[in-house]
Chain A
Amino acid sequence: MSWLDKLKVKLGVLDADDAATLEEDAPRAARRAHDNDRGGRPALDGIEPASQQGLDDVLAAKERGDTTEMRRLLKELDRGKGLRLVLRAAAALEAGDDAELEELLPKVGAETTTWRLALQLASVLDDPARAEAFRQRAEKAGAPTWALAWSRALSNDADVQRRGLVELLVIDPALARTVAARDLHIEGAVADGDASDRYAGFAHGRQCIRRFGPSAVAAVVERAGGFL
């Protein structure tokens, strides 16, 4: 975690969980900064240059149908925890690679004890019943009220969505207005800078799951025994 994120956590501006999520792509950015500092000097002989890949590259590979490259990148990026691990397992499930899947499932099971992954899935799954099951699991896992309200605000069910928006407005008006602008594209709504860190911390993972394919991610999480 960067010193700035640590300071934000200490001041209460940023949740520790959000900071951890934002860090998902941080090593890549840090390596880039380091590369820029080299002043154009060539890499040392025999030293492999650091990887420049991140989740965006993984998802881009998946979107162009290059599953081999996608799985190679995921294997390289996986640090044994977090969303990269879950996506790697989902990719193994999709590829029918039972050996890799069985190796990863116990670690995925540990990830499923947190509310964040469950709510991110609930927010992007098309199947309302399946989404609700993940939402309930997140609630049992101690999801904060703002996150539950946000998840409901993205529901396909109009009544649930309205209730979620009202709850979010009461709990965190800045986040409610940001969700209205960025997620729901409500006419005239404008993202509020006060909510930017909180929004980014949750939305980044959710967007990755959406791009990867929520059904596969949900399936691997369910199979890991965490939720259903």
Chain B
Amino acid sequence: MSRSKLVLYQLDRPALKALSADIEGLLVRNDHAAFAERLKLDAALLRGRARLVDYFLVPENDSTKELHAALRRLAKRDALTPAFASDSLALEGRLRAFEPLRENAGTSAAIDRLLNPKRVPWYLRATGATAGWLDGKDRADLSQKMDRLMSQLTPELQAFARGLGEIDGDVIAHDSL
């Protein structure tokens, strides 16, 4: 289990979808110059491979981390607004294992979805990172359920519940953006 600090972002879903389509199109067209321009990167960084997509088919390492970081920066700029940042390293562990939260199947499932990296676009999945997404309805449901449990929650979970409640619409949780 990772020990990092979770941040909740209010998601502009149409903007993230537009970005995903844009990036996919550039990779399919294999347009190095346009890709570098879109990511605000030095085009020299993309001279190593003939096919753009290949940069993202290898592990994120010294030679590719700048590309991944640029993509994530772009996603944050276009579609993600930070809404709550935990100052506790214990928050993720509490969310995954705190019994009062886990006793309710709906609450438990919603938290698991919010901490499941497979629910965010490929370029937001950093190696070893925690990430996930809830749509507006699920976020509101989870927020209400955590509110009802507020008196039983630990301080970091109480702060998280309040942060979740202040978001309007979809939310993305991430610990490495």
Of listed B20, B51, B57, B61, residue having the most chain A CB within 10 A: B57
A-B contact count (CB 8 A): 46
Are B28 and A166 closer than 8 Å at their CB atoms? yes
Q: Does B125 have its Cβ within 8 Å of any Cβ on chain A?
A: yes
Complex: how many Å from CA A173 to CA B20? 14
Q: Which of A163, A169, A170 contacts B57 (CB 8 A)?
A: A169
CB-CB under 8 A from B59, the residues of chain A are 177, 188, 190
Are B28 and A180 closer than 8 Å at their CB atoms? no
- Name the interface residues of B1-48: CB closer than 8 Å to any CB of A: 20, 24, 27-28, 30
Complex: how many Å from CA A214 to CA B53? 29
CB-CB under 8 A from A117, the residues of chain B are none
Are A170 and B58 closer than 8 Å at their CB atoms? no
Q: Which of A170, A176, A189, A190 contacts B20 (CB 8 A)?
A: A170
Q: Does B54 have its Cβ within 8 Å of any Cβ on chain A?
A: yes
Complex: how many Å from CA A189 to CA B57? 6
Q: Does A28 have its Cβ within 8 Å of any Cβ on chain B?
A: no
Nearest CB of A to B67, in Å: 13
Are A189 and B58 closer than 8 Å at their CB atoms? yes
Q: Identify the closest chain B residue to A161 (Cβ).
A: B51
Are A173 and B125 closer than 8 Å at their CB atoms? yes
CB-CB under 8 A from B28, the residues of chain A are 162-163, 166
Are A169 and B54 closer than 8 Å at their CB atoms? no
Q: Given A173-B122, A173-B125, do A166 and B58 touch, yes or no (CB 8 Å)?
A: no
Are B57 and A165 closer than 8 Å at their CB atoms? yes
Q: Does A29 have its Cβ within 8 Å of any Cβ on chain B?
A: no
Nearest CB of A to B45, in Å: 15
Complex: how many Å from CA A182 to CA B28? 21
Nearest CB of A to B54, in Å: 6
Complex: how many Å from CA A190 to CA B51? 17
| A 165-189 to B, binary, CB cutoff 8 A, 1 in contact else 0 | 1100110010011001000001111
Complex: how many Å from CA A165 to CA B30? 12
Nearest CB of B to A11, in Å: 13
Q: Given A163-B28, A165-B53, do A190 and B122 touch, yes or no (CB 8 Å)?
A: no
Are A186 and B122 closer than 8 Å at their CB atoms? no
- Name the interface residues of A180-224: CB closer than 8 Å to any CB of B: 180, 186-190
- Name the interface residues of B53-71: CB closer than 8 Å to any CB of A: 53-54, 56-59, 61, 63
Q: Which of A169, A188, A189 contacts B122 (CB 8 A)?
A: A169
Q: Which of A162, A177, A188 contacts B51 (CB 8 A)?
A: A162
CB-CB under 8 A from A166, the residues of chain B are 24, 27-28, 53
Q: Identify the closest chain B residue to A176 (Cβ).
A: B57
CB-CB under 8 A from B30, the residues of chain A are 162
Nearest CB of A to B25, in Å: 9
Q: Which 4 A-B pairs have the closest CB atoms?
A: A180-B57, A188-B58, A173-B122, A166-B27
Pick 20 A–B contacts, CB within 8 A, sort by A.
A162-B30, A165-B57, A166-B24, A166-B27, A169-B27, A169-B56, A170-B20, A170-B24, A173-B122, A173-B125, A176-B57, A177-B58, A180-B54, A180-B57, A186-B54, A187-B58, A188-B58, A189-B54, A189-B58, A190-B59
A interface residues, Cβ below 8 angstroms from B:
162-163, 165-166, 169-170, 173, 176-177, 180, 186-190
B interface residues, Cβ below 8 angstroms from A:
20, 24, 27-28, 30, 51, 53-54, 56-59, 61, 63, 121-122, 125
